[in-house]
Amino acid sequence: MRAFLFNLAASLLATVGVTDAVPTQQSAAAGPFLKTVDSQTWVIGNEIWNMTQGSIYGVKLYYKERDCVGRAVGHYVSYNGAANNLAWTSAAIVKNGTYKGVAYADIKFTAAEGDMHWVIFSGQHGAYQYFVNHALPTLGEFRTLWRLDNTTFPYGKTATKDDLLPPLSEYLPQNKVQDETWLKPDGSGYITKYDFTSWIRIQQYYGVYGQGFGSWYINAGKDYYNGNHLKQELMVHRESSTGDAVQLNMLHGTHFQVSSADVFPDGKLWGPWLWYLNDGSKPDAAAQAKEEFAAWPYAWFEDEAYHTRGSVSGRLLLSDGRPASNAAVFLGDDTPSKTALDMGSTYYYTTYADADGRFEIGGVRAATYGLQAWSNGSTIADVSTSLLRNGVVVSKDKETALGNVAWTVSPKKKLFQVGDFDRYSYGFQYGGAPNQHALVANCPANLNYTYGCSKVSDWCFGQTYRGNWTIRFRVGEDPSSYSGKRNATLIVSLAGYSSGASSSILANDKVVGNMTSGTPQLLSDPSLYRSATAAGEWRYLEFGFDAGILKKGWNAVTFQMTRNTTWHGFMWDSIILEW
């Protein structure tokens, strides 16, 4: 298809002249435009840039007198990986308008599944984009993306990584160890596209760039994304088969989740976001992002449902009297049947409470939501319970003031806690380190931790080898009198889990539970073997046992890994024993 479009463009240029065919940078029309070449080829752009769009791929992106796609694939929209690329059957300008005196055109490309829009302003370096669903199937992955010339865009940047994309010469077939992961030719480590993973909801701008050229995504509104604060996705990488520089816009992704297959209502809107071109300057991209965030929701976007928004505020108070300082706050599905990370059918909002437990979320689409909250560490790092309040109604131009929201915490006595309860591996050795494939292999097979003496960083972020990880702790009273009368509860909070690893849990050498691969609680997420070091999909497990198993003085809880798979296993968040 790509060769066909290139040949078509060349033929048109040779037979009818540049001004009547595919525009080059020098011959681009004034203002935003759509030019129909034939029933499967169109050209869009303005005075600054233009792109030739075929039935699937957008190619020949002219900017600053250069074709920024070159021999790469170009722009396209797809779902379920590259298995289903959307095919455009028609294109039309659906609106011409002006905003603050600047002309723009809303250009719609139609496919069976829905409509891809490019809103192009006169003089704009790039375009706003949005997609309206009409018939997408139940799916896990839906994306728009650019695959661009690798010499023009050799670097990739996200909020957490800014680096040269690995040279294609390092991707040696004999060194491939798993999905998109290769041992470096010199044996010094690994190269993998998953090292460029980052957190979706903290992004200000991200993309690929080089000397004189930058291509960026700026997603000021993030309510159309699936997932919560822990949602992370692949954003830029090197295409291993061709060397293309890849800039991904993962609108609905699953790269680090157990699953996230959702049904979308007709009319579900993703966007608008800004695709921004510049000279490769990161300060300029940052300044543009600041403007976009200040302007969201976009006043120029004429859609009634998009502008039907209100706000939610409240104060989270724990049942022990403390404010829920810095708690993570999430507005999601009412009476949910999925975890917060797995939700994705409609619109979702995240924030954090302040030190006094107060929060406010603005720009919320009118609907009924479920409010969730959980510890994000800090002064409430001991809180293992979560909050869910259903029936939160948001109305247009109104503040839904919830007042004080009560959050029940466990009244039980803690015998020990290892790690902050925050759904991340932060605080442990390597926890939250820059993404790196096989980092978990640096954690030991056997580990001894003494509560009250060891540092949290003495516990490693992930367990992947067969062996025993033991927590030693003291009990000041004699638990024997509680036998048959009082239960102890071991809480295991996992920041992630990758399949093929099972563990027996022992208290003073007696089996009190197990974590078994393949069970509903331990379906696999790809976090540990896809370079994640902070989180995958959070799991909460409880194991109750007779307190009489414990004794006065020294006791031990052991996680005995009985089955393992290379680079797979348990990523820890927090371990708590209470009665």
104-116 residue pLDDT tens: 999 999 999 999 9
Alpha helices per DSSP H over 146-198: none
Q: Which amino acid is at 532?
A: A
Are residues 151 and 237 both part of a single domain? yes
Are residues 398 and 458 both part of a single domain? no
Which residue in this structure is represented by tokens 């992002």? 289
| Domain end marker among 263, 298, 333 | 298
CA atoms of 164 and 200, how far apart (whole Å): 21
* CATH code, domain with 429: 2.60.120.260
CB of 347 within 8 A of CB of 361?
no
Looking at the DSSP bridge assignments, the partners of residue 207 are: 157, 216
Are residues 350 and 452 both part of a single domain? no
CA atoms of 83 and 521, how far apart (whole Å): 29
Are residues 463 and 514 both part of a single domain? yes
Are residues 339 and 469 both part of a single domain? no
CA atoms of 492 and 418, how far apart (whole Å): 10
Are residues 42 and 66 both part of a single domain? yes
CA atoms of 331 and 161, how far apart (whole Å): 28
pLDDT of residue 3: 35
| Domain end marker among 263, 280, 298 | 298
Are residues 317 and 221 both part of a single domain? no
| Domain end marker among 372, 390, 407 | 407
CA atoms of 133 and 114, how far apart (whole Å): 5
- Residue 401: exposed, middle, or buried by beta-carbon count in 10 A (0-12, 13-18, 19+)? exposed
As separate numbers, helices (DSSP H) first and strands (DSSP E) second, the chain gives 3, 41
pLDDT of residue 130: 98
CB of 68 within 8 A of CB of 59?
no
Buried b (16+ CB within 10 A) or exposed e, 95-128: eeeeeeeebbbbbbbbbebbbbbbbbbbebbbbb
Residue span of the structural domain in which 561 resides:
414-578
Are residues 312 and 386 both part of a single domain? yes
* CATH code, domain with 54: 2.70.98.10
pLDDT of residue 486: 79
DSSP 439: G
Phi, psi dihedrals of residue 20, rounded to the nearest 5°: -100, 0
Phi, psi dihedrals of residue 93, rounded to the nearest 5°: -80, 115
* CATH code, domain with 331: 2.60.40.10
Q: How many domains does the chain have?
A: 3
Alpha helices per DSSP H over 168-307: 282-295, 304-307
Phi, psi dihedrals of residue 78, rounded to the nearest 5°: -150, 165
C-alpha closest to that of 458 among 468, 473, 444, 441: 444
From first to last of the 579 residues of the chain, give the pLDDT tens digit.
Answer: 333 333 333 333 322 223 333 445 444 568 999 999 999 999 999 999 999 999 999 999 999 999 999 999 999 999 987 789 999 999 999 999 999 999 999 999 999 999 999 999 999 999 999 999 999 999 999 999 999 999 999 999 999 999 999 999 999 999 999 999 999 999 999 999 999 999 999 999 999 999 999 999 999 999 999 999 999 999 999 999 999 999 999 999 999 999 889 999 999 999 999 999 999 999 999 999 999 999 999 999 999 999 999 999 999 999 999 999 999 999 999 999 999 999 999 999 999 999 999 999 999 999 999 999 999 999 999 999 999 999 999 999 999 999 999 999 999 999 999 999 999 999 999 999 999 999 999 999 999 999 999 999 999 999 999 999 999 999 998 888 877 877 999 999 999 999 999 999 999 999 999 999 999 889 999 999 999 999 999 999 999 999 999 999 999 999 999 999 999 999 999 999 999
C-alpha closest to that of 549 among 489, 479, 492, 476: 479
338-371 residue pLDDT tens: 999 999 999 999 999 999 999 999 999 999 999 9
Are residues 359 and 447 both part of a single domain? no
Are residues 287 and 315 both part of a single domain? no
pLDDT of residue 7: 35
Q: Which element (helix H / strand E) includes 489?
A: strand 487-498
Are residues 139 and 275 both part of a single domain? yes
Whether this model's pTM surpasses 0.85? yes
Are residues 52 and 141 both part of a single domain? yes
